[in-house]
Structure formats: structure tokens, C-alpha cells
Amino acid sequence: MNRKELAIVLSKLKGFESPKVELEQYFTDSDTASDFLWNIEMKDGFEGKVVADFGCGPGIFGIGALVLSAKKVLFVDVDRDAIKSAKENLSLIEEKYDVRLNAEFLNIPISKFSLKVDMVLQNPPFGVQYVHADRAFLIKAMESADLIYSFHKIESESFVEKLSMDHGFDGKLYLRYKLPLKHTMGFHTKSVHNVDVGCFRINKI
């Protein structure tokens, strides 16, 4: 599978049915997700790895990892509706492509996650509703894996680098995106608002 084929697969997935503002739920578009996942595939590879998708939402990262031959993906989200959407999206891909993918769904806050995995993927809340809401995600990710790929606002670069260093990790900006956030919340005034975000590669030193 190449990057274009991955994007086509991910474009079949559905987003949040009723996104919750307090959880900062935004669906990552398939073009961004496929580019993100393909770069990880080229850098570290998914084959044979157990991956956790923290704050998985409808599951686009975790499903992409499975399509790229991850051994297993743990989909973790505090929101029951998000877990339901992720399950439905996984079933959609399994039925469409006649495959069976190894997944486990955990409807828990990330603070309750206690397993060790090979890699964590996450697009945590950026802290619009609660300042540094992404901090808890980062700390739990570093407790859970030696390799993390995490989305944050570009202006959080120094915060991510320092927090990573404080916990024995090297966190560096790896990819940049303009993330298109569609008009899904009542307070939105634009049909699409582009946000400058960075994907950080965080690995244990």
C-alpha cells in the first residue's frame, strides 16, 4: 500500500456524529492523517507493533496503523460515543476490504490506561477549553511507550520539548500541518478554520 491508497481507505471513515466542545473533538481529515501515518511508516514502521491510539475519537489513526500492518491497536477514549464510532469505522473497513484487524476498545480516561505498548499515537485536546489539557496525554504516553507521535499547536513546541526532557525523552517537531477544522461547534463562525499544528516525535533517551 502506498500513501495515496492509504488516503483512499481513510477517506471512507466517518467523523464524530455529535462532537463535544468540552472534549475538543475534531476529526482529523484523511489527507493529514494519511500523510502523518505514512511518514511514521517510513521512519519507524508499524509492522509487528502494538499501538495505542489515545483519545482515539472515530479511530482514524489506529485504523490507519492496522491497515499498515500494526500487530494490534488499542483504541482509548473517555467518550462512549467516540468508541462506538471507532468500532463502526473499523467494521466498515473490515467489511469493505474483507479483512480482520486486531483491535481492542477501551472506554476509559487515559489516566486509567496501565498497559505497555510499542507506540502511542495521539491528537490530544490542545488546551482551548482547559490550559495544557495535552499535558496529561503526554505524561501517560511516556509512561506507556518508548515512542510517541503526538499532535500539538505549533506554539506548544517549547512546552513539549521541555516536558519530554523532564521525563527522559527527546521530543522534537517532526511534521507541520495546517489542520482544517470544519464548522462543527455552535460558536464557530467560519466553514473551515485552518490551525497550524505540529506532529512531534517523542522517543525515550
- What is the CATH T-level fold of the domain 3-204, as seen in this structure? Rossmann fold (3.40.50)
Instruction: Give the H/E segment covering residue 65.
Output: helix 60-67
Under a CB-based contact definition with an 8 Å cutoff, are residues 203 and 170 in contact?
Answer: yes
pLDDT in tens, the chain (205 residues): 899 999 999 999 998 777 666 767 687 899 999 999 999 999 999 999 999 999 999 999 999 999 999 999 999 999 999 999 999 999 999 999 999 999 999 999 999 999 999 999 999 987 555 567 799 999 999 999 999 999 999 999 999 999 999 999 999 999 999 887 765 545 445 556 788 899 999 999 9
pTM tops 0.75, yes or no: yes
Query: What are the b/e assignments for 27-52, b being 16+ CB within 10 Å?
Result: bbbbebbbbbbbbbbeeeebeebbbb
